[in-house]
Amino acid sequence: MKDVLLFSMVVVGLVAASGGSLQLGDSAPDFILPDQDEKMQRLSDYRDGWVVVYFYPKDDTPGCTAEACGIRDDYGQFTEADITVFGISYDDPASHRAFKEKYELPFTLLSDSDKQVAGLYGAKGLLMPKRMTFVIDPEGVVRKIFNKVDVAGHSGEILAAVKQLRLTD
């Protein structure tokens, strides 16, 4: 009986840690988070254009650096397409500032230190956020979710997805 109770507690804990299950067509949960300069950013302030919210595990690690630098290298295409990019991890603003400066990242990094936003998006991990990307249209609707991200080429996948979504609108 004790083993069954312990197993149930572990399962409940894992489900709670995994957060919500945001689906295509859902309204993107609004949030307010501090950026690398400790300025508060509200998602709903960007509802006039397309927004990419990508969750990543940790600043200045190999995979996260590759993903961020891929977006940096294609950033001109993001701005031409009027796409705002937010990278979110649990790291604090000072860590984000150093990461952004070291790799000359032209987009905003947000600190979700209490893991609440990751939970709302279903990207909450036990120690670090899951690597996930959400494409949000100008009305605030989730139009694409990347659950499995290959950091090499992900930037191009995002741009192609937004282009395709615009064609179907």
Question: Can you give the residue ranges of every domain in the chain?
Answer: 2-168
Both tokens of residue 62?
Answer: 């190999």
Q: Is 109 helix (H, G, I), strand (E, B) or coil?
A: strand
The answer on pLDDT for 5 being more than 80 is no
Helix then strand then coil, in percent of the chain rounded to 5, is 40, 20, 35
Query: Which pLDDT does position 37 carry in this prediction?
Result: 98
Which of 64, 68, 109, 136 is labelled catalytic? 64
CA distance 96 to 40: 14
Q: Is 64 a catalytic residue?
A: yes
The answer on pLDDT for 83 being more than 80 is yes
Query: Which pLDDT does position 120 carry in this prediction?
Result: 97
- CA dihedral of 120, 125, 128, 133, whole degrees rounded to 10: -50
Q: Is 80 helix (H, G, I), strand (E, B) or coil?
A: helix
Residues in the chain: 169
From the list 70, 54, 43, 69, the residue with the least C-alpha distance to 141 is 43
CA distance 68 to 89: 12
- 15 alpha carbon, distance to own chain's centre: 20
Statement: the pTM of the whole predicted model exceeds 0.85: yes
Give the confidence band of 20 by pLDDT, cuts at 50, 70, 90: low
Between 122 and 13, the higher pLDDT residue: 122
CA distance 97 to 38: 9
The answer on pLDDT for 85 being more than 70 is yes
The answer on pLDDT for 56 being more than 60 is yes
Query: Which pLDDT does position 4 carry in this prediction?
Result: 37
- CATH homologous superfamily for the domain 2-168: Glutaredoxin (3.40.30.10)
Sequence-ordered list of residues with C-beta below 8 angstroms from that of 109, at least 6 positions apart, any chain: 35, 36, 59, 86, 87, 88, 89, 91, 96, 99, 100
CA distance 155 to 72: 9
Mean pLDDT on 96-110: 98
Mean pLDDT on 22-39: 97
Give the confidence band of 168 by pLDDT, cuts at 50, 70, 90: confident
Both tokens of residue 59?
Answer: 């600043």
